């Protein structure tokens, strides 16, 4: 019967754009979003990656450039004056506040009976603040929060650096983040296996072909069986925990704090736990040449026989490297509370995106109207008019008209005035939808505010 399949998901607020949801296929446009259709990208991530690119185009005033791929050169006439980017910056400023401080409970304790506890807490606080200064924590937080506000999600990754002898904090684009959530898993729970993957461009000058780099952090949710030392190691590498085979020596790889129970499983007691656990986190950092992949493989099923494993600064091979922690050192920060059984947040621009489209269209019309207002259209009629002569309107130009001659000008300034007022209305609508008062956007005249208390109250909707 030709019924239309209406898709309602975490990114269906973009279905109104034909370039995002093709009317016939219902999938993102392949020419506009080739990254989302890469062979190693899971099908369930295609719409998510396309939405990130589309939102990034709005943030960088490139929505018209992206629309040109489907609508033709006429789409490039669209005016984009940075309104989405201004909204993102304003929201990030309100989320972050003026300054951030690391505070350890008990560090400011003045009770004489808790001097030892307060001294320990103060020592931890000083160490954390020193680490935050070395790692440029405020800048990393701004990077992640801007990704979260603009795209809907942000990702932090903590990794131990053997050279600097401290944990390094990195901020990743959420388009590189691929969590593995099982069919029975709850999207609100942190996944037990994640991938950070991206495609490397081909570099003919250096002889490197197109490849997929995947830093794969694994989390094992089952008991650790006895594992022999792997044969894959570097000069200074510690043994790699590899799967045991029938012909492998049945000698378990026991590390500090490990215990073998009666069933042969290995448990480990971590300093931050009260009892042993059967969990540990493995890290694999490898690169695959896409030309070597003869069949379709997503990021979670890339063949190990075609992988090229990296090594860290200590010479350890990053292939199932035991990190000696029972958690994945990654933090996913959604911008909004995900719906039930969902994992992803929503951009702050989502609900107001159509208003930004209308605002860009109004700005485009206003730019066209301003051309005719600054250089008005003139009509000449009557005697002594040479139809072959071109008449140019400009300062000091004199037109000789006959007895019945007439000079008519068309005033388009009323239309321009209406367009500007309509643009202000649309900007106010977008601010209301995004819960940004006019005072936070800088569009309110401070002299018209009755008092400082009223100004503070007007900032209420944007207070985190």
Question: Is residue 165 situated within a structural domain?
Answer: no
List, in order, residues 6 or more apart from 31 with CB less than 8 Å away: 69, 70
Please report the pLDDT score of residue 169 as a whole number.
94
Same domain assignment for residues 321 and 389: no
Residue in the block written with tokens 């390094």: 168
Same domain, 375 and 296: no
Which of 53, 81, 109 marks a domain boundary? 81
Judge whether 178 lies within some domain: no
**Diameter over CA atoms, the chain:** 116
Q: Which residue has the higher pLDDT, 392 or 103?
A: 103
Residues 323, 357: one domain? no
Q: Please report whether residue 347 resides in a domain.
A: no
Q: Please give the pLDDT value at position 386.
A: 67
Asked if the structure places residue 450 within a domain, the reply is yes
Which of the listed residues 31, 57, 81 is the one where a domain comes to its end? 81
Domain boundary among 52, 81, 110: 81
Domain-embedded: residue 6: no
Instruction: Quote the pLDDT of residue 464.
Output: 47
- Using one digit for the tens of pLDDT, what is the confidence trace for 372-428? 787 777 777 765 666 667 777 777 777 777 777 777 778 888 888 899 899 989 998
User: d(Cα 292, Cα 16) in Å, to the nearest integer?
Assistant: 38
Q: Residue 420's closest CA among 357, 375, 349, 369?
A: 369
pLDDT, position 228 = 37
Question: What average pLDDT is seen over the chain?
Answer: 80
Sign (positive or negative) of CA dihedral 424, 430, 436, 440: negative
Asked if residue 322 and residue 198 are part of one domain, the reply reads yes
Residues 320 and 358 placed together within one structural domain of the fold: no
Q: What are phi and psi of 206, to 5 degrees?
A: -100, 0
Q: What is the pLDDT of residue 376?
A: 74
Beta strand 307-309 with 377-381: parallel, antiparallel or unpaired? unpaired
Taking residues 452-457, report their average pLDDT.
Answer: 60
The whole-angstrom separation of Cα 400 and Cα 416 is: 31
Residues 311 and 387 in one domain: no
Residue 344 lies in a domain: no
Do 179 and 217 form a contact (C-beta atoms < 8 A)?
no
Q: What is the pLDDT of residues 277-331, one digit of tens each?
A: 888 888 888 999 888 888 788 898 888 888 889 888 778 888 888 888 888 899 9
For the beta carbon of residue 404, count every other beta carbon within 10 angstroms: 9
Residue 227: which domain range? 192-327
Count of domains forming the chain? 3
Which of the two residues, 55 and 440, has the higher pLDDT score? 55
**Minimal CA–CA distance to 124: which of 101, 100, 104?**
104
Of residues 150 and 404, which shows the higher confidence score? Answer: 150
416, 368 Cβ separation under 8 angstroms: no
pLDDT in tens, 23-78: 666 678 888 898 888 889 998 899 999 999 999 999 999 999 999 988 888 888 89
Q: Is residue 445 part of a domain?
A: yes
pLDDT tens string 109-125: 755 555 678 888 889 99
Q: Are residues 379 and 424 in the same domain?
A: yes
Q: What angle, 0 to 180 degrees and rounded to 10, lies between the N-to-C axes of helices 137-151 and 83-96?
A: 130
Tell me: do 227 and 322 sit in the same domain: yes
Does 282 share its domain with 376?
no
**In a shared domain, residues 277 and 319:** yes
The pLDDT score that the predictor gives to residue 244 is: 37
Question: Look-up: residue for tokens 């505070």?
Answer: 103
Same domain, 228 and 311: yes
Q: Which residue has the higher pLDDT, 206 or 1?
A: 206
For residue 249, pLDDT over 60 is answered with no
Work out the number of other CB atoms within 10 angstroms of the CB of residue 198: 16
In this structure, is residue 395 part of a structural domain?
yes
Mean pLDDT of 172-193: 82
Examine the domain organization and report whether 306 and 379 are in the same domain: no
Average of per-residue pLDDT across 149-169: 91
């Amino acid at each position: 019967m030709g019924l239309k399949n209406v898709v309602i998901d975490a990114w269906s607020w973009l279905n109104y754009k034909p370039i995002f949801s093709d009317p016939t296929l219902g999938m993102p446009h392949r020419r506009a979003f080739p990254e989302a259709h890469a062979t190693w990208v899971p099908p369930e991530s295609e719409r998510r990656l396309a939405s990130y690119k589309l939102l990034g185009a709005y943030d960088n005033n490139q929505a018209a450039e992206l629309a040109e791929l489907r609508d033709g050169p006429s789409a490039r006439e669209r005016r984009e004056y940075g309104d989405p980017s201004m909204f993102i910056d304003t929201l990030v400023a309100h989320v972050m506040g003026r300054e951030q401080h690391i505070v350890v409970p008990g560090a400011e304790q003045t009770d004489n009976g808790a001097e030892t506890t307060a001294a320990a807490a103060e020592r931890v606080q000083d160490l954390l603040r020193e680490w935050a200064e070395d790692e440029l924590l405020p800048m990393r937080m701004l990077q992640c929060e801007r990704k979260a506000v603009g795209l809907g999600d942000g990702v932090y990754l903590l990794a131990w650096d053997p050279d600097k002898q401290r944990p390094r904090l990195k901020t990743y684009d959420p388009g590189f983040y691929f969590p593995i959530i099982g069919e029975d898993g709850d999207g609100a729970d942190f996944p037990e296996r994640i991938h950070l993957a991206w495609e490397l461009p081909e570099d003919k000058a250096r002889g490197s072909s197109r490849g997929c780099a995947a830093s794969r952090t694994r989390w094992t949710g089952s008991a650790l069986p006895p594992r022999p030392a792997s044969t894959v190691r570097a000069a200074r590498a510690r043994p790699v925990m590899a799967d045991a085979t029938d012909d492998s020596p049945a000698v378990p790889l026991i590390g500090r704090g490990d215990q073998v129970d009666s069933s042969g499983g290995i448990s480990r007691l971590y300093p931050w736990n009260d009892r042993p656990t059967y969990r540990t986190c493995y890290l694999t950092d490898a690169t695959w040449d896409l030309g070597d992949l003869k069949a379709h493989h997503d990021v979670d099923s890339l063949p190990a026989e075609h992988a090229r494993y990296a090594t860290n600064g200590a010479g350890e091979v990053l292939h199932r490297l035991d990190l000696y922690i029972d958690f994945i050192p990654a933090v996913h920060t959604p911008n909004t509370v995900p719906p039930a059984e969902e994992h992803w947040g929503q951009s702050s621009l989502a609900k107001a995106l159509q208003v930004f489209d209308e605002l860009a269209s109004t700005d485009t019309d206003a730019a066209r109207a301003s051309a005719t207002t600054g250089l008005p259209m003139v009509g000449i009629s009557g005697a002594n008019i040479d139809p072959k002569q071109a008449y140019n309107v400009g300062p000091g130009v004199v037109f000789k008209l006959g007895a019945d001659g007439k000079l008519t000008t068309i005033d388009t300034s009323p239309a321009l005035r209406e367009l500007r007022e309509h643009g202000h209305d649309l900007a106010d609508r977008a601010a209301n939808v995004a819960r940004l008062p006019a005072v936070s956007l800088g569009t309110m005249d401070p002299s018209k505010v009755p008092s400082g208390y009223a100004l503070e109250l007007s900032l209420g909707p944007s207070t985190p």
